[in-house]
């Protein structure tokens, strides 16, 4: 099975934008670039909310994939059961032919 490369989707981008907002705010605040009106003090909260939204959306996407995998496994179990029954029928016929 070939290794799947990571693809960037909107959920990853949203998560990293939120983390970057928090990081830039922390650097700017510690260096003294940010003198703080109240909306500036809220940047970490906004960044955390954006990062959380991205993570939550990514988890939702992963759970949808897991649901598909579970459904596919159920279908495979049915196919395997059918093949098992067919193999048993062939073995029975072969045993009868060998007994002659």
> Which residue range is the domain that position 56 belongs to?
10-99
Whether 32 is in a domain gets the answer yes
Whether 88 is in a domain gets the answer yes
Whether 68 is in a domain gets the answer yes
Whether 2 is in a domain gets the answer no
Orientation angle between helical segments 43-99 and 10-31, nearest 10 degrees: 150
Whether 56 is in a domain gets the answer yes
- Residue-wise pLDDT for 4-56, tens only, equals 676 777 777 888 888 888 888 888 877 877 777 767 777 788 888 888 888 88
- Residue-wise pLDDT for 62-77, tens only, equals 888 888 888 899 899 9
How many structural domains is the chain composed of?
Answer: 1
Give pLDDT, residue 56: 86
Rg (alpha carbons) of the chain, rounded to whole number: 28
Give pLDDT, residue 4: 67
Number of helices (H) and strands (E), helices first, in the chain?
Answer: 3, 0
Find out whether 53 and 14 touch, Cβ atoms under 8 Å.
Answer: yes
Whether 3 is in a domain gets the answer no
Give the number of other CB atoms < 10 A from CB of residue 66. Answer: 10
At residue 42, the 3 state secondary structure works out as coil
Whether 35 is in a domain gets the answer yes
Whether 1 is in a domain gets the answer no
């Amino acid at each position: 099975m070939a290794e799947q490369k990571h693809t960037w989707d909107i959920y990853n981008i949203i998560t990293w934008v939120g983390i970057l907002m928090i990081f830039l705010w922390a650097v700017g605040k510690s260096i003294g670039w940010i003198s703080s009106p109240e909306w500036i003090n809220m940047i970490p909260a906004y960044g955390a909310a954006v990062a959380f939204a991205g993570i939550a959306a990514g988890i939702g996407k992963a759970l949808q994939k897991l649901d598909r995998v579970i459904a596919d496994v159920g279908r495979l179990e049915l196919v395997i059961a059918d093949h098992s029954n067919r193999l048993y029928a062939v073995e029975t016929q072969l045993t009868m032919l060998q007994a002659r």
